[in-house]
Amino acid sequence: MQQRVIISQDIEHDLAQAIAETEHDRVFVLTDDITQECCLPKVAVLFAKHNATIITIRHDDTNKTLATLADVWTALQRGGATRHSLLVNLGGGMVTDLGGFAAATFKRGINFINIPTTLLAMVDAAVGGKTGINFGGLKNEVGAFANARYVIVNTCFLDTLDTANLCSGYAEMLKHSLISNAQMWAEHVNFDILQPDLAKLQRMVAASIAVKEHIVADDPHEHGIRKALNFGHTIGHALEEFSMQQPGGAVVSARLLPLARARTAPTKQVTPGTLLHGYAVAFGLIGELYISARKAGFPTARLHQTARFIRENYGAVAFTCDDYPTLLNLMRHDKKNTSDTINFTLLHDIGDIRINQTATDEEIREALDFIREGY
């Protein structure tokens, strides 16, 4: 079943139509405690008309666990959900990942709709049919391919985000431009993400989603070109998992949130010491562009321009050469690997993709040096 992505201008109208066109005897809504407060009010009247049951879980990726998944299954069961029920996932990537997996597995599969409320979820997690949870300290270790019936994208929810969460989502957009075309990349590295034009950003979001949709349509189960979407993620996931293993997650410098220009919002402010997924991907992009330049001929001028944009907007990630063995070991657990070989997607140039590439431990260490020190 293919999913339909709606770039929405009227969230209540588009959601009402999506629910009407999706089989349902009961409607359930999954949120986390932040989106329940900040985002649910925008569509609460419509859910009340459907007598929807609200299921709320704790926010943060550390709660994307088997225990939380079981809580959602239990809530569906106690609420009388059947194989004909509908689950609406309203939230960021953690909610859409976990909620999609809950829907894909409850009663062997029920319909679900994703309403991403963060930029990261809009351009990445909510689109493409990947669902899952973290397990054993590894990102998205357990999951399934399952398409939402609809993904409804409306940037009205972005006014609830702080600067750090906007930057987190923007890293995935930057990745899409790198694997797509130079015009999009140039627009992205010249955009002011710290004081964004939200009208322009909505157009850019639609274009970014179109890049992912095109790739997913060609390769829904990641046997070939869909691996391009993993660019930046081999190193990025290792940094993210490393952060999760540290006391307090203390892996990011105090420049994580550029406080001098930060937006204010009622949602959670990200503090130094928390490595958001998009920040990990941004630093991963620097490292994998370095390997691309070294092994696949990626232009060094574009490497340095991209790295400069990331360093100016995302700060620096704090790890030392003593951490390299741990990071390399985490990379070896990546789902894209074959046996003990660490697989990468590399670029010869913007939009010129090389999947199923490898790098030696020494080349990866050099990339980690470049992330840390810029040389």
- Token pair for 205: 């979001």
The predicted pLDDT at position 258 comes to: 34
Tell which wins on pLDDT, 248 or 178.
178
Helix (H) or strand (E) holding 168: helix 163-178
Check residue 81 and give its pLDDT: 98
Q: Read off the pLDDT of residues 216-238 as tens digits, 9 standing for 90 and up.
A: 889 988 889 999 999 999 999 99
Is 36 in contact with 268 (CB distance < 8 Å)?
A: no
pLDDT tens-digit readout, 11-59: 999 999 999 999 999 999 999 999 999 999 999 999 999 999 999 999 9
Confidence of residue 247 (pLDDT cuts 50, 70, 90): low
Per-residue confidence (pLDDT) for residue 349, from 0 to 100? 98
**pLDDT for res 260:** 30
Distance CA(38)–CA(53), nearest Å, equals 18
* Confidence (pTM): 0.86
Give how far Cα 178 sits from Cα of 191, 232, 303, Å.
Answer: 15, 10, 10
pLDDT in the model for residue 248: 55
Can you list the positions of beta strands (E) in the chain? 4-7, 27-32, 53-57, 86-91, 111-116, 130-135, 138-145, 150-153, 343-349, 352-358
Question: Tens digit of pLDDT for each residue in 50-88?
Answer: 999 999 999 988 899 999 999 999 999 999 999 999 999
Flag whether pLDDT at 179 surpasses 50: yes
Map residue 115 onto helix, strand or coil: strand
The stretch 276-304 carries a mean pLDDT of: 97
d(Cα 267, Cα 34) in Å, to the nearest integer? 6
pLDDT tens string 153-175: 998 898 888 899 999 999 999 99
